[in-house]
Structures are given as structure tokens and as C-alpha cells.
């Protein structure tokens, strides 16, 4: 329905008023030596070499679920490209350990524990990041859970509530908390979904539903926040060798079925998910928003 993809008139009218206010505010900001908001919409890369567009020096990135697995690889990639990275997961000792390893490798990082399903801890994650680094440019909503493997009809409501809370509600609310800080300079939200968010498998129904919802959250963020120079995109991994998916890749029969149909004939390593995030986080991806990108060895075109 085309009309639903347009902003309602009332909002447009309010925007006109806001634009007027913004012009006034921009004037005030300019006199305070701050960039006007509209500058976020200009390409920032005019005189940069293409290689340097990947450089994240001066940027601050939060990666949820980055004590191990895909999140850890993403965090390392961002830090190696110059970003100051907030390592986050539920356990403080685990994130401290990763931050220490990064520092020993001359990468900038701090560890801030956060159970993303907990409202107070989400607020603390953003507050402590601002206290430590003073800005937020990149948010990678990577942490997720899958507490249930089985047919839809045998899942309990409490499992549904738990998985929706962590996989959907938390990325929505954490992104909202980061928004006011990203508005200052523009930013990039990267939501880690799954091929299961696009194509249903067996016994992963609830997880699939949450990963589909995350894709639509990201598209709506892209549509609503583009005006602030904030981009939002989704990455959909295939089968990656991490703790999360161990029950799948340690099952020889299942792996044989998977590698039999997937064009690249193998399961992936976590580091193979980091490159696409480097692109989406940086100026190299400055015109990319609302996109859904697979890194699945061709799984979705198999069969
Ligand atoms: N592995 C795959 O095959 C695959 C495929 C498609 C998509 N994905 C997606 O990729 C993302 C990362 O998965 P992964 O395979 O890298 O998993 P993983 O190796 O198990 O790592 C998960 C990370 O998230 C943290 N975490 C778990 N629950 C959390 C919570 N409630 N709050 C904050 N942090 C939490 C874990 O640390 P703590 O336990 O210490 O909190 C850990 O750092 C997920 O969104 C997953 O759905 C994975």
C-alpha cells in the first residue's frame, strides 16, 4: 500500500515546523561551533581515497554479545579499522578479558557488561559508553538467544516472551537509547539477523520469527532515521561455527546435508561475518541503508 509508505500529512506538517526550529537551532549551533544537523546528510567522503573510507578512526562502536563468536570477530574488525569498541555481554569478567586482549594488541576497547534483556543494564551500557568515549557512531545488535528447538505447537508462552524480549525488544529499545547520541554526527545500526529470518527451517520457528522481526525493525529504522544521517542494515549469517550453533555443526549427519546443498560446501568461521559489518559501519557504505545482506555460502539460493 503505497500511501502507507509515505509519511502521514500531520507528521509532514510537524516536520515543516521542526525544520523551521531546526534552522533556528542550526544557527545557534553554528555559532557554538557545532555542525548543523543537515551536515549528516552530506557525503563525508568527498576527498577521501576509497580505501580510507573503511577507516573508523575517531568512531565509537558498541557490539552486543561480543565476548565470543560472531560478535567478537565483528568487534575485532571494527577495532582493527580504528574504532573505539565497547565489548559487551552478560558477564563482566568475560568482557574485561576481551578488552584486555584488545589493548595488548594495541586496539582500543572497554568492557561493559549488559544483559540486553534488562532495561536498566541497557541504559547503563549507553551511559557508561558516553562517559568513557563521549559519542556513539555504530551500534551492532548482535546478541541473541535460542532457548527452544522444536515444533511450534510444543513451545510455551514463557519461551516466546523470553526470546522476543532478547532478540527483538532489546535491539529496538537499545537502538532508541543510542539514537539521541547518533543524531549528533550520524551513525550506523547493524542488526545481526539470520538466514532463518528469511527462510524457515524446521524446529527453529520461534527463533525464525524473531529474526524476521529484526529485519523489519531495521528497515523501519532506516526509513525513520535516514533524515538524521543514521543508516540501519541487516546481516543474515548462514551456519557459523560458534557456541550458539554447536548442536547443529557438531551433528555430522546434519552438516553433511548442509554442505551437500550449500554452494560453498562448508560451514563458516565467525571471522567471515566481520567484513560486511566493516563495510556497513564505515563511510565505504555511506549510501547503504535499509538493506538485508546475507553471508551464507549461498544457502538461500541452494536447493
Ligand atoms: N552461529 C550461527 O550459525 C548463526 C547463524 C545465524 C545467525 N546467528 C546470529 O549471530 C549472532 C551471534 O551469535 P553467535 O553464533 O556468535 O553466538 P555465541 O558464540 O553463542 O555468542 C553469543 C554472544 O552473546 C552473548 N549473549 C548471550 N545472551 C546475551 C544477553 N541476553 N545479553 C547480552 N549478551 C548476551 C554471549 O555472552 P554471554 O553468554 O557471556 O552473555 C556471547 O558473547 C546472534 O544474533 C545469532 O542469532 C548465528
Q: Which domains does the chain have, with CATH numbers?
A: 49-301 (3.40.50.720)
pLDDT of residue 303: 78
Ligand 1 centroid to residue 67 C-alpha, Å: 9
Q: Which atom of ligand 1 is nearest to the CA of 145?
A: 28
pLDDT of residue 292: 98
pLDDT of residue 19: 42
Q: What pairing do the DSSP bridges indicate for beta strands 138-141 and 230-237?
A: unpaired
Low-confidence ranges of the chain (pLDDT < 50): 1-3, 9-36, 38
Q: Which of 133, 149, 207, 287 is catalytic?
A: 207
Which of these, 187, 188, 189, 209, lies nearest to 200 by C-alpha position? 209
Ligand 1 centroid to residue 89 C-alpha, Å: 9
pLDDT of residue 8: 52
pLDDT for 130-181, tens place per residue?
Answer: 999 999 999 999 999 999 999 999 999 999 999 999 999 999 999 999 999 9
Ligand 1 centroid to residue 66 C-alpha, Å: 8
| 299 is a catalytic site residue | no
Whether residue 91 has its Cβ less than 6 Å from ligand 1? yes
Nearest Cα residue to atom 47 of ligand 1: 144
Ligand 1 centroid to residue 285 C-alpha, Å: 25
Q: Whole-model pTM above 0.75? A: yes
pLDDT for 203-231, tens place per residue?
Answer: 999 999 999 999 999 999 999 999 999 99
Whether residue 208 has its Cβ less than 6 Å from ligand 1? no
Amino acid at each position: 500500500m503505497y500511501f502507507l509508505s509515505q509519511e502521514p500529512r500531520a507528521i509532514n506538517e510537524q516536520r515543516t515546523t521542526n525544520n523551521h526550529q531546526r534552522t533556528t537551532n542550526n544557527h545557534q549551533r553554528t555559532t557554538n561551533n557545532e555542525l548543523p544537523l543537515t551536515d549528516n546528510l552530506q557525503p563525508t567522503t568527498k576527498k577521501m581515497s576509497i580505501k580510507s573510507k573503511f577507516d573508523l578512526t575517531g568512531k565509537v562502536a558498541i557490539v552486543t554479545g561480543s565476548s565470543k563468536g560472531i560478535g567478537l570477530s565483528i568487534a575485532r574488525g571494527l577495532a582493527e579499522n580504528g574504532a573505539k569498541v565497547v565489548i559487551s555481554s552478560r558477564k563482566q569478567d568475560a568482557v574485561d578479558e576481551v578488552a584486555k586482549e584488545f589493548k595488548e594488541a594495541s586496539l582500543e576497547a572497554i568492557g561493559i557488561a549488559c544483559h540486553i534483556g534488562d532495561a536498566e543494564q541497557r541504559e547503563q551500557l549507553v551511559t557508561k559508553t558516553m562517559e568513557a568515549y563521549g559519542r556513539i557512531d555504530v551500534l551492532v545488535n548482535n546478541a541473541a538467544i535460542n532457548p527452544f528447538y522444536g515444533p511450534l505447537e510444543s513451545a510455551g508462552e514463557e519461551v516466546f516472551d523470553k526470546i522476543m524480549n532478547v532478540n527483538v525488544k532489546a535491539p529496538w529499545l537499545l537502538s532508541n537509547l543510542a539514537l539521541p547520541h547518533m543524531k549528533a554526527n550520524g551513525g550506523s545500526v547493524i542488526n545481526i539477523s539470520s538466514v532463518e529470518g528469511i527462510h524457515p527451517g524446521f524446529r527453529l520457528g520461534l527463533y525464525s520469527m524473531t529474526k524476521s522481526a529484526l529485519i523489519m525493525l531495521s528497515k523501519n529504522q532506516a526509513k525513520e532515521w535516514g533524515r538524521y544521517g543514521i543508516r540501519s542494515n541487516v546481516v543474515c549469517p548462514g551456519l557459523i561455527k560458534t557456541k550458539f550453533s554447536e548442536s547443529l555443526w557438531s551433528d555430522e549427519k546434519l552438516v553433511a546435508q548442509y554442505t551437500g546443498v550449500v554452494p560453498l560446501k562448508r560451514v563458516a568461521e565467525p571471522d567471515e561475518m566481520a567484513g560486511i559489518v566493516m563495510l556497513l559501519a564505515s563511510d565505504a557504505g555511506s549510501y547503504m541503508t535499509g538493506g538485508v545482506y546475507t553471508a551464507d555460502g549461498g544457502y538461500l539460493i541452494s536447493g
